[in-house]
Amino acid sequence: MVKTYLKIVTAVVVILGVVLATVLTGFHTSALGEGVTSTREITLKVDGMKCSMCPLTIKTALKKLNGVVGVDVSYKDKEAKVRYDNGKVTVNEIIKAIENAGNYRATPLGKEEKQRGK
C-alpha cells in the first residue's frame, strides 16, 4: 500500500515539475522577446502620384494590410511613411499594395532598401 502511494506521489511530482518547467520556459522565452514581433517604420518614394487624391488611394490600400499600424502619405514629397508589424507584413507586401492601388512605383529610401529583399 505504501509503495503504491509513493508511486502516485512521485508521478504527481514529476508531472507538476514538467508543467512548471514548461510554463517557466515559455515565460522566459517571452521575456527575452523571442518570437515577439516589433513595429518598424519604412519610408518609400512613390512615383506616379499625379493628383491630391493619390495619397488617399495609397493610404486606403495600405490600411487594408494586416500588420500596417500607421500610414502617412505626402503628395508634395511623393513619399509614404508606413509603420508596420514586421511579423505580420513584409516590405514587399507593402510595396505591392501601393503598386496595385494604381499606376505607382514604390521604392524604399535609405537603409530600408535592405529590407525589401526580406
Query: How many residues does this entry show for the chain?
Result: 118
pLDDT at 36: 56
Render pLDDT for 14-60 as a digit per residue (tens, 0 to 9). 565 555 555 554 544 444 444 556 899 999 999 999 999 999 999 99
Are 109 and 95 spatial neighbours (Cβ–Cβ below 8 Å)?
A: no
pLDDT at 37: 63
Most distant pair of Cα atoms in the chain: their distance: 87
Give me the residue spans of the domains in the chain: 1-36, 39-110
Q: Whole-model pTM?
A: 0.64
Are 82 and 62 spatial neighbours (Cβ–Cβ below 8 Å)?
A: yes
Q: Which residue has the higher pLDDT, 2 or 30?
A: 2
Q: Is the predicted pLDDT of residue 10 greater than 80, yes or no?
A: no
Q: Is the predicted pLDDT of residue 9 greater than 80, yes or no?
A: no
Q: Which fold has domain 39-110?
A: Alpha-Beta Plaits (3.30.70)
Interatomic CA distance for residues 53 and 59, integer angstroms: 10
